[in-house]
Amino acid sequence: MKIQLSSLDVLRARTDCLVVAVREGTQQPPTTRKIEKASKGLIQSLIHSGDIDGRPGSVLLVPSPMGIQAKRLLLVGVGDKPDIDDFASTTLVAARQLCSTRSVSAVVALTEIAVTGADAGTRARMISQAIQEAGYRFSELKTTKGKETARRHCTVKRITLLSDSTKNDSAMRAGIQEACAIANGVALAKDLGNLPGNICTPNYLANQAKKLGNSHKLKIKVLDEAKMKALGMGALLSVSRGSREPARLIVMEHQGARRSDAPVVLVGKGITFDAGGISLKPAAAMDEMKYDMCGAATVIGAICAVAEMKLPINLNVVVPACENRPSSSATLPGDIVKSMSGQTIEILNTDAEGRLILCDALTYSERFNPKFIVDVATLTGACVVALGHIRTAIMSNNEDLSNNLMDAADKASDKAWKMPMGSEYDNQLKSNFADMANIGSGYGGSITAACFLGRFTKNMKWAHLDIAGTAWKSGAQKGSTGRPVPMLSEFILNQSKKNS
Ligand code: BES
Ligand code: MN
Ligand code: ZN
């Protein structure tokens, strides 16, 4: 999809679809008024008949509108004074409607709407991101090219955003560029998440990382099981034992600042399929455990976005990747393993495997002396109970870091919420036989999981994002969401601004 900025005459624009805002207040925005006049009161009459109102999220597609050159007119209710969240949801509804038409080109005038907390650049970015979000399809594994597939396909190729005023043009162009980089990162994360376990194996992830390394000028290193064994990664390898697919530890580096600058490190859980191991999961919806590598997918998506934006920051990504399966060689409940940190772990439930691969990846990452380290993981079902599919959970040992992440989440409309930690929870990890157990003895499972990781990050400014609820959708809309690539990209963007 190509997105550009222009100050063309909307009445003369020969486009497949002109997208225009309808406000809830009395005064309509300039473009809407222009069209109103040229069409001899079309919009007012549609408001009068009740076909469209200014409520946020209401949309109406008008085919062959008279008085203007565009083939279609898409009216979009934007409310009175939208904030960032209103605008994000409104633009997404509008973009979905646009993508359901057969339009190839579109001119979008939503840029002229005032949004609380968003300047012209941010608005341009939000609109551009929404259109690319709505245009995403995952059809590489469908072979039928029938009518059904053609209808589901998004035809939109060229978008023109209407320039707000020339003084904002450079900010808007920057916003469009950021949106394209972030949307590419989101699409990449979705693709990786949507691929099934028989294709997206640990080795597949490693090979994708190498490919992306070439296209995005990233330094890539892949460790095999022998190297991990030599490093003492007994926790990670205990998860991989039950699988014939060998584990991989993937390291990706974007160097955008001086070599001596401490990097931000992102660690992503890469369980390419989580059957639970010997503590086998029930059959219902087990297929969804192909998404258990969405932490990996999103940190890979984020580093690609950051590289594409050429941000002046050093960013490293570390992905422990393996399968969690039952087999005659699989780890047994009660087994005790030694992590890379030297701490021993009693594995009471082999389905609590994410923390086992992450703890070794976190210890490994200490070698980078990170400025901040953030792990991203579909870690606990308890997180879905706590926050649903709406917000990502943030747990951290550093207030500054968790605040920065919260701010980024709000700004990117990729919502999160801080959850507590503390010794009352951490005490639940006590084991009679090893330094700790891999599960807590009570409720609050997302927090005890974070406390487990906290035992491996004492020397670093660390945050943990539990994306079990936000990384994918179930039901008719089943699929990977690409979250929290927008939040992570925003966070890194803000960090890089502090650098320059
Ligand atoms: N990958 C799952 C977490 C998960 C469950 C994510 C459901 C999304 C939806 C994780 O590896 C897991 O199995 N966690 C267990 C931990 C428990 C055994 C302490 C869980 O949440 O049930
Ligand atoms: Mn599990
Ligand atoms: Zn898992």
Span 464-486, pLDDT tens digits: 999 999 999 999 999 999 999 99
Domain count, the chain: 2
Residue 237 lies in a domain: yes
Ligand 1 atom at shortest distance from the alpha carbon of 439: 19
- Alpha carbon of 459 to ligand 3 centroid (Å): 26
Based on the domain organization, do 356 and 262 belong to the same domain?
yes
**382 CB under 6 A from ligand 1?**
yes
Q: Which two tokens stand for residue 344?
A: 């021993």
**63 contact partners, CB below 8 Å, separation of at least 6:** 71, 72
Last residue of a domain, one of 165, 199, 230: 165
| 180 in a structural domain | no
Residue 331 is part of which domain span? 186-499
d(C-alpha 224, C-alpha 250), whole Å: 9
Residue 281 annotated among the catalytic residues of the structure: yes
Tell me, yes or no, whether 151 and 212 share the same domain: no
Within 10 A of 61 (CB to CB), how many other CB atoms are there? 17
Å from CA of 207 to ligand 1 middle? 27
C-alpha to C-alpha distance for 264 and 372, rounded to whole angstroms: 5
Spans of the chain, pLDDT less than 70: 146-151, 500
Task: Please check whether residues 118 and 196 belong to one and the same domain.
Answer: no
351 lines ligand 1 (CB under 6 A): yes
Q: Quote the pLDDT of residue 165.
A: 85
> Global pTM?
0.98
Same domain membership, residue 81 and residue 7? yes
Q: Are residues 30 and 157 in the same domain?
A: yes
The answer to whether residues 270 and 222 belong to one domain is yes
Q: Is residue 374 part of a domain?
A: yes
CATH of the domain at 61: 3.40.220.10
* Ligand 1 midpoint to CA 354 (Å): 8
- Residue 171 counted as domain residue: no
Q: What is the pLDDT of residue 193?
A: 98
Let me know whether 340 and 477 are in one domain. yes
User: Which of 115, 135, 165 is the last residue before a domain boundary?
Assistant: 165
Q: Which of 294, 380, 478 maximizes ligand 1 atoms within 8 Å of its Cβ, making it the mutation to test the pocket?
A: 380
Per-residue pLDDT at 148: 67
Give the pLDDT of residue 66.
93
- Regarding whether 194 and 146 lie in a shared domain, the answer is no
* Separation CA 500–CA 498 (nearest Å): 6
355 is catalytic: yes
Q: Give the integer Cα–Cα distance in Å for 294 and 194.
A: 9
**Ligand 1 pocket mutation, candidates 273, 345, 351, 465, criterion most atoms within 8 A of CB:** 351
Q: Is residue 119 part of a domain?
A: yes
Query: Which one from 71, 173, 281, 338 is the annotated catalytic residue?
Result: 281
Does a structural domain hold residue 175? no
- Answer yes or no: is the C-beta of 353 below 6 A from any ligand 1 atom: yes
Given the residues 355, 391, 411, 461, select the one marked as catalytic. Answer: 355
Which pLDDT does position 146 carry in this prediction?
66
Say what the pLDDT of residue 48 is. 93
* Pocket lining: 439 vs ligand 1, CB cutoff 6 Å: yes
Q: How far is the CA of 301 from the centre of ligand 2 (A)?
A: 23
Residues 466 and 320 reside in one and the same domain: yes
Are 292 and 161 contained in the same domain? no
SS3 letters for 365-408? HHHHCCCEEEEEECCCHHHHHHHCCCCEEEEECCHHHHHHHHHH
3-class secondary structure, 151: helix
CATH number at residue 239: 3.40.630.10
For the chain, percent helix, then strand, then coil, each to nearest 5?
40, 20, 40
The DSSP bridge pattern shows strands 336-338 and 392-396 to be unpaired
Asked whether residue 181 is domain-assigned, the answer is no
Asked whether residue 172 is assigned to any structural domain, the reply reads no
421 and 284 in a single domain? The answer is: yes
Specify whether 153 is located in the same domain as 210: no
